[in-house]
Amino acid sequence: MIRRTSILLATVLILAGISVGAVSADGMPSLDLPPGIEAQAQPLLMAMMDRMEDSGMSPQQRDMMMQEMQTIVDQLPPGIFLNILELMPQLNMPDMMFLHNQLIRGDLLQQPPGQILLFVRNLAA
């Protein structure tokens, strides 16, 4: 529990100091996904952005998260990314931040895509 809290705090502090634009001018999050996957992902991304806003994340922090999500998109098959995105509402905010940190700063993205999906499913259970 302390580890997750420490990771969350460190992530929030890092994100608070960085401002990167990854949300388009109309406020809709945008990731470089195949059209069919993008259409399915869009409502999930909007719900996740709303959840991040409700948790107190600043627009700059949310923008940084979207930029880092593009890194995840670039390294995972689109279907696996969509499955993970569908599981995100089942995660509480600390678990979501823990997962994000493991994907971006940890070695989780070095695992096979199926193992990553299994990790997320186990975290969501």
Ranges of each domain in the chain: 2-124
| pLDDT > 70? residue 19 | no
Q: Is the pTM value of this prediction over 0.85?
A: no
Range ranked top by mean pLDDT from 19-33, 43-57, 60-74, 75-89: 75-89
CB 50 within 8 A of CB 63: no
| pLDDT > 80? residue 23 | no
CB 82 within 8 A of CB 90: no
| pLDDT > 80? residue 8 | no
| pLDDT > 80? residue 24 | no
CB 111 within 8 A of CB 120: no
